[in-house]
A and B are shown apart, each in its own frame.
Chain A
C-alpha cells in the first residue's frame, strides 16, 4: 500500500445556534460576524454556485452578492429553516437573476421526472463501470438543474427535506428528480463509454 494515507475529518454541521447568533450580530452591523459567516458558509455557497454556473468569476460575483444580501437581510431570518438552507436559497435566487437573459440549456419537466426501469439499464451499468474522474466529467455535462440538485444533496450538507425547501418543490419531486439526475449521469457515462 504505497498511497500516503491522508485523512481529513470535518465536524458535523452542528453550529445552528452559532449561525443564528452570527446572523443576530450581523443584523447589528458587526463586521466580524459577517467575516465569520463568510468563513462558515462561503465555500459551500461558492461550490454550489460554481456547480450550477460553471464559471468561476461569475460564481464568485454571485457569492459576493449573496453575502451582501445576507449583510442587509440578516434581520429577516426567522429561523424557519437552517441558516445553511437560507443562505443557499439566497444564492440560488442571485444565480437565477444573474443567469436570466442568458441562453440556458432548456430542460423540460419530462426529462427531470422520474424514469423508472424494470432492471439495471445501460445507465446503471455505465455507472457501475465508471471511475471517479469519469463521473466528475459527466456531472459537468449534466443540465444545470441536475447539477444544482446533486450539489445541494451531496455538496451542501442539506437533508432532502431541506433541499425541497430551497428548491420550493415537494419532497417527492426532489426524489424523482434525483433519480432522473442519476439516470442522466449514467446516460452521459454510457455515451462516453461507447465513444471510447
Chain B
C-alpha cells in the first residue's frame, strides 16, 4: 500500500499485472477499489504492448497474422474469454521469449489442434508421450479416448495422476465448496469470470483478475454467495461464459465428449499410463480446439503445472 495515498503502490500494481504475489491487504483493496483496478488494466495494456513488440521482433508483427488476439476498445473485463485470450496472448509472447533460439529441446510442448498424430513423443523427454482426443468412456480409472487420428486409446490413471477439468461446469459449484473467484466487481457484486473449485492452483493465475477465496453458499444457476474467511458475504453472478476450473478432479467427474489432453508413458500393451490429464469441456460444440502449452522440463511438477494451465485456459471455437 502507498502510505501517501489510499490506493495501491505502483509496485503492487505491477506485481498484479506480471502475476507476482501481492499481500492479502493489497488484494483486498484491489477487490473493492475501482481506481486501482483501472490502473491494473492500464498497466496490463502497457505490458501487453511490450510483450507484443517482443513477439513481433522475433516472428514479425502479430497483427499481420490471423487469429491473434487484439485488444478491443472495451477493455474492462467485459467477458472472461476476451480476458483469457489477452492473457493467452501475453503468455504466448512470453513463451516466444522463453523458448530459446533454435530447437527448444528442453521444453515439453503440447499442441492440441486436432491434427496431431495418435501418440506424439515429447522432445527432450524420452519417457514421455502426448496424446489428445475425445473421451469415449470411463472404465473405473481408465479412460478410452478417440485420438485425433481416429484410433481409440486407453489411458490408465492412478491415484497420483494429476487430472484437471475445466469448462462451463457451473454444476460443480455447490454449497460448501471451497472456491477462488476471479472477475470484475461492481457495487459489491462480482461477475464471476473464472471460478476455481477446490484447492487454489498456481497455474490458474490470470494477471488483472483479482482472486477472492471463500466458501460457496446459496448456489444457483445464476450465481452464489461467496463467504470469505472473515465472514463477509459477497454475491457472485455466473453465466454460461463463466469458466469453472477443477484442478484436482477424478475420472468419475469426466463425461463423454469432453476433450482430453494426456501426458504419460506408453505401455507395451498400447496403453498410455497418464502422468497428467487435462479435460476440457467446450463452451460450444463443433469448435476447433487450439491449445498449446509448454513446461520447463520433464519433471512431474512441470507436467502438472502445464496441464493445469491447459485446463485453465481452455476454450472453444465457433
Are the C-beta atoms of A10 and B53 separated by less than 8 Å? no
Residues of A within 8 A of B295 (CB): 11
Dominant SS among interface residues on chain A = helix
Q: For residue B274, give the distance in angstroms from its CB to the closest CB of chain A.
A: 19
Considering the complex, give the chain A residue whose CB is closest to the CB of B99: A43
Q: Does B252 contact A (CB under 8 A)?
A: no
Residues of B within 8 A of A185 (CB): 46
* B interface residue numbers (CB < 8 A to A): 9-11, 14-15, 17-18, 20, 38, 42-43, 45-54, 56-58, 63, 67, 69-73, 75, 81, 84-85, 88, 91-92, 94-102, 104-106, 203, 283-284, 287-296, 302, 305-306, 309-310, 313-318
Q: Does A72 contact B (CB under 8 A)?
A: no
Residues of B within 8 A of A155 (CB): 50-51, 54, 97
Bound complex: CA A166 to CA B73 (Å): 35
Considering the complex, give the chain A residue whose CB is closest to the CB of B93: A155
Which of A15, A48, A50, A155 counts the most chain B CB atoms within 10 A? A155
**A contact residues, range:** 35 or more
Binary flags per residue of A120-151, CB closer than 8 Å to B gives 1, else 0: 00001001111111011011100000000011
Residues of B within 8 A of A124 (CB): 42
Number of A-B contacts (CB under 8 A): 196
Residues of A within 8 A of B85 (CB): 3, 5-6
Bound complex: CA A44 to CA B106 (Å): 16
- B45 in complex: contacting residue of A7, A132, A153, A171, CB < 8 Å: A132
Given the known A-B contacts A10-B91, A42-B100, A56-B57, are A128 and B294 also in contact in the complex, defined by CB atoms under 8 Å? no
Residues of B within 8 A of A15 (CB): 296
Question: What 5 A-B pairs come out closest when comparing CB atoms?
Answer: A39-B100, A5-B315, A9-B309, A7-B313, A135-B49
Considering the complex, give the chain A residue whose CB is closest to the CB of B18: A154
Q: For residue B4, give the distance in angstroms from its CB to the closest CB of chain A.
A: 10
* A interface residue numbers (CB < 8 A to B): 1-11, 14-15, 36, 38-44, 46-48, 50-51, 56, 59, 124, 127-133, 135-136, 138-140, 150-151, 153-155, 157, 159-160, 171, 175, 178-179, 182, 185
Beyond the given A139-B53, A178-B10, could you list 20 further A-B residue pairs with CB under 8 A, ordered by the A residue number?
A1-B283, A1-B316, A2-B318, A3-B67, A5-B315, A6-B67, A6-B290, A7-B314, A9-B203, A10-B98, A11-B302, A47-B57, A48-B54, A51-B53, A127-B42, A129-B73, A130-B45, A131-B72, A159-B15, A159-B20
Residues of A within 8 A of B51 (CB): 154-155
Residues of A within 8 A of B91 (CB): 7-10
Residues of A within 8 A of B292 (CB): 6-8
Residues of B within 8 A of A46 (CB): 57-58, 101
Q: For residue A115, give the distance in angstroms from its CB to the closest CB of chain B.
A: 13
Which of A4, A56, A124, A153 counts the most chain B CB atoms within 10 A? A4
Given the known A-B contacts A42-B100, A51-B57, A179-B10, are A5 and B317 also in contact in the complex, defined by CB atoms under 8 Å? yes
Which of A5, A127, A150 counts the most chain B CB atoms within 10 A? A5
Residues of A within 8 A of B14 (CB): 153, 160, 178
Are the C-beta atoms of B58 and A43 separated by less than 8 Å? yes
Residues of B within 8 A of A131 (CB): 70-73
Residues of A within 8 A of B94 (CB): 10, 157
Residues of B within 8 A of A127 (CB): 42, 45-46
- B50 in complex: contacting residue of A4, A129, A154, A175, CB < 8 Å: A154
- B84 in complex: contacting residue of A7, A153, A179, CB < 8 Å: A7
Considering the complex, give the chain B residue whose CB is closest to the CB of A176: B10
Bound complex: CA A40 to CA B224 (Å): 44
Are the C-beta atoms of B18 and A1 separated by less than 8 Å? no
